[in-house]
């Protein structure tokens, strides 16, 4: 996994690999809400990172996922190994092996509570209006 340098010195994403940074920026470009990155490397998980965010409705969830897919394909020639939930769009999962993207509607995110399930993981939450994401 590439670790392309961050463009902002004090950026909260700087410790994360370039692909994770790109996924977060792509999600932010489509106005994703409550973006969080969970560092699972010390939590004994099956992947290194989760990127979790919300879209206000199914249409926005798909737009966020499409932007992430395009951004990673363009910048890193990466495609997800597996995609789940695109048809229903309440929760779409993109699996890139080293990191997994979860894009939810707000109600579905609250119901499943992934952040609670991985409470031991180091977590970075990004404000919805963070200028370093644009």
CA dist., res. 83 & res. 89, Å (int):
11
> Do the domain assignments include residue 104?
yes
CA dist., res. 28 & res. 129, Å (int):
9
Write out pLDDT tens, residues 7-52: 444 477 888 999 999 999 999 999 999 999 999 988 878 899 999 9
Domain, as residue range, for 108: 18-126
> Do the domain assignments include residue 11?
no
Q: What is the CATH number of the domain that holds 54?
A: 3.30.460.10
| pTM score of the predicted model | 0.87
Q: Are 72 and 29 in contact (CB under 8 A)?
A: no
Q: How many domains does the chain have?
A: 1
- Strands 91-95 vs 122-126: parallel, antiparallel or unpaired: unpaired
Query: Nearest-CA neighbor of 94 among 51, 39, 58, 130?
Result: 51
């Amino acid at each position: 996994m590439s670790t392309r340098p961050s463009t902002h010195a004090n950026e909260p994403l700087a410790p994360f690999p370039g692909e994770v940074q790109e996924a977060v920026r792509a999600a932010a470009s489509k106005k994703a809400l409550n973006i969080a990155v969970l560092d699972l490397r010390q939590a004994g998980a099956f992947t290194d990172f989760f990127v979790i965010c919300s879209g206000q409705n199914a249409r926005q969830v798909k737009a966020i996922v499409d932007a992430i897919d395009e951004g990673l394909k363009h910048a890193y020639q990466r495609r997800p190994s597996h995609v789940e939930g695109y048809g229903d769009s309440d929760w779409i999962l993109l699996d890139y092996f080293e990191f997994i993207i979860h894009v939810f509607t707000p109600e579905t995110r609250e119901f499943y509570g992934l952040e609670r399930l991985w409470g031991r993981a180091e977590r970075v939450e990004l404000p919805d209006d963070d200028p370093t994401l644009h």
